[in-house]
Structure 1
Amino acid sequence: MTAFVDTHFHLWDLGRFRYPWLDDPGGDQFAFDYVLDDWRRDVGDADLVATVHVQAEMDHAADPLAETAWLAELRAQGDPATPTVCVGYADLRAADLEDVLDRHMEYDFFRGIRQELWYDPASQRSDVLTHNLLDDPAWPRGLEQLAARELTFDLLAWPSQLAQAAEVFRRVPELVVVLEHLGLPPADPNARVRWRAALERFADEVPSSWLKISALSFLSPHWDADQIGVVVKEALEVFGPQRCLLGSNFPVDRPAVGYRELWQDMEWWTEHLSPDEQHWVRVENALQVYRIDTGAAS
């Protein structure tokens, strides 16, 4: 199996932190600890060049630095399974945002922020959106703070939000934006026409954006590799291999597929690309976007 960078996985420790999304419908299936030993067992002998830990939606009432500090503790133990870099959490509307970002940046493995557009901090439920962050004038100002620090933003949004998101992000052209999970295409092929149109518009209007091919169990909970592959190749056509990255979304995708099988399928879905394009998608783009030093990662 080829080498790759996994740009999207999570660790969580229920004894240490609270994760409100585990109380949401379907969240209970993930109400278990997922720590380095578990991650190591799943990865097995997969050839990982580097990894990106993405914030796991801890309680937003907690210190937004808590997860990053915990990862730093794990890294200090010298375990080779620890994340190479991380994407943390911050509320981009917060009055103390500048301080939060500066504190995050004290950790040399911190690379950017993810704040889910569908998340409602007031209700602490991830399946309810009562406040559209894209409508809040404070939120784009937060994006400008990320750009000023050369941090990335991981964007998780529904296809119906992408047109408005494009309007917001094109006003911050220097910000590197990673659109997660293929832009959440619907499983129904008949409904994907609007998804593709939204994806094409976002790719065109936000040239600083990249597409993360991840969370593929959304498309097929029983992991139909042929069905998923059609959508992956369509997304590669829209963004081009120069702007795509790969992520496992483990352990969230683990009920659908084993780790090694997932990456074997990723290899299969990208084998039609040229050798250079395969390397971009599997390794090089991720190293560039998340500013990973190959010497430190290998």
Structure 2
Amino acid sequence: MPDESIQAVLKAHPAVRADWLATYSEEVIAPELEVVDPHHHLWNHPGDRYLYDQAVEDFSSGHKVTATVHVQCRSMYREHGPEVLKPVGETEFVRRIAARTAQTDQPIQICAGIVGTVDLLLGQAVQPALEAHVEAGEGQFRGIRPTVVWHENREILPVSAPAGVLQSNQAHAAATCIRKMGMTLDLWAFFTQLGEVAQFCEAHPDLTVIINHTGGPLGIGPYRGRRDEVFSEWRDRIQDLSELPNTVMKLGGLAMRYAGFVFNERTSPPSSDELVAAWKPYMRLCIDLFGPKRCMFESNFPVDKAMCSYRALWNAYKKMTSDLTPVERQDLFSATAARVYRIAV
């Protein structure tokens, strides 16, 4: 995706407003529950910075976050050299951030795992890029998240991204390379693409595939006002995915604009109780289908920060799982993420 396309996607998201978030606060519940946040971004885009200091402020806001995973966001690419290796610049950048943690008394392992990107349409030619990511990650590179998200409606996705990437022979060849190197594959796709995702996962049973953002339910564009209908279709496709043992579900991302919950349009931020009311049907269904050992909660910060605070977000996750056993909650909040991304906590 060209840089101008990335900027178009970023501009479509609501802005993070610190003053708005500061108008509401709530106490942290279950502060002793360990959290590994397996999905956040660090970036330095024009007019939008979320780097070490901003991330630590959120991670240290009351929940017991012990480690985090950075997921690719097309920031700090190499400016020169072969096009296929330019994304390695992001891994180099994030590794420097992670190294900074080791030089302080910070109790959180910031970016203990790094997920980068390659173009799946390169097929077997992704191999040099994968090797370069591993070298740049200095022991912390864990996997790949390629660009596969697509929708024909420009209100939903304001760029013309390639359709059907996962159906190409090149993508299957690239996935074989990723698997052979012991990496995981993160996939962000809308619920309309989940049939394609399931076919891809089934074709690579030895590859761990992590489904991002609760499987991408939509509530904007042509799906606005059709939440029950979308939920029904999303549920059927999630059921199919859950039957594939190599799939793992990341629970989060519903504060992105795509889901259409528009908490950002309110005069004050949502409470954790309001987040539970909106999101529990999606997340508990995923937990029931995949099981806690194949589910992990994510923050997706700073994207989701446009609609809620880090404190309220994780409080909501804790409230919607309060009836589960301590072991099940440990899986959801830390153990699954630590196992899948090979993080020692």
Shift of 1:119: 5.9
1:201-252 Cα offsets, whole Å, 9 max, x none, are 1111x21100000112144231532111222112212212121001101010
Q: C-alpha distance in 2, partners of 1:197/1:97? A: 33
* Structure 2 counterparts to residues 1-298 of structure 1, below 5 A: 1=31, 2-14=33-45, 31-43=47-59, 44-58=61-75, 63-77=86-100, 78-79=103-104, 80=106, 82-94=110-122, 96-106=125-135, 107=137, 108-118=139-149, 127-187=159-219, 188-204=227-243, 206-218=244-256, 219=259, 220-222=261-263, 223=270, 224-225=274-275, 226-294=277-345
SS in 2 for 1:49: strand
**Identical aligned pairs, as a percentage?**
27
1:93-137 Cα offsets, whole Å, 9 max, x none, are 2263111111111221100000121269xxxx8643343202321
Q: C-alpha distance in 2, partners of 1:169/1:229? A: 26
Return the TM-score normalized by structure 1.
0.86
SS in 2 for 1:83: strand
Read off the aligned partner of 2:144 and give its amino acid letter: I
1:236-271 Cα offsets, whole Å, 9 max, x none, are 122121210011010101121111111111111111
The answer as to whether partners of 1:4 and 1:282 remain within 8 angstroms in 2 is yes
The answer as to whether partners of 1:50 and 1:83 remain within 8 angstroms in 2 is yes
The answer as to whether partners of 1:64 and 1:89 remain within 8 angstroms in 2 is yes
Q: CA RMSD in A?
A: 2.1
Q: Which one has the largest radius of gyration?
A: 2
The answer as to whether partners of 1:118 and 1:127 remain within 8 angstroms in 2 is no
Q: C-alpha distance in 1, partners of 2:239/2:147? A: 21
Q: C-alpha distance in 2, partners of 1:97/1:131? A: 19
- Tell me the matched-pair count: 274
Shift of 1:178: 0.4
SS in 1 for 2:147: coil
CA shift in 2, pair 1:119/1:230, >3 Å: closer
Q: C-alpha distance in 1, partners of 2:93/2:232? A: 42
CA shift in 2, pair 1:83/1:34, >3 Å: same
The answer as to whether partners of 1:8 and 1:214 remain within 8 angstroms in 2 is no
The answer as to whether partners of 1:178 and 1:210 remain within 8 angstroms in 2 is yes
Return the TM-score normalized by structure 2.
0.74
Q: C-alpha distance in 1, partners of 2:237/2:131? A: 34
CA shift in 2, pair 1:119/1:90, >3 Å: farther
SS in 2 for 1:293: coil
CA shift in 2, pair 1:209/1:252, >3 Å: same
CA shift in 2, pair 1:126/1:5, >3 Å: farther
Shift of 1:83: 1.2
The answer as to whether partners of 1:53 and 1:83 remain within 8 angstroms in 2 is yes
The answer as to whether partners of 1:186 and 1:195 remain within 8 angstroms in 2 is no
Q: C-alpha distance in 2, partners of 1:262/1:10? A: 16
Shift of 1:46: 2.5
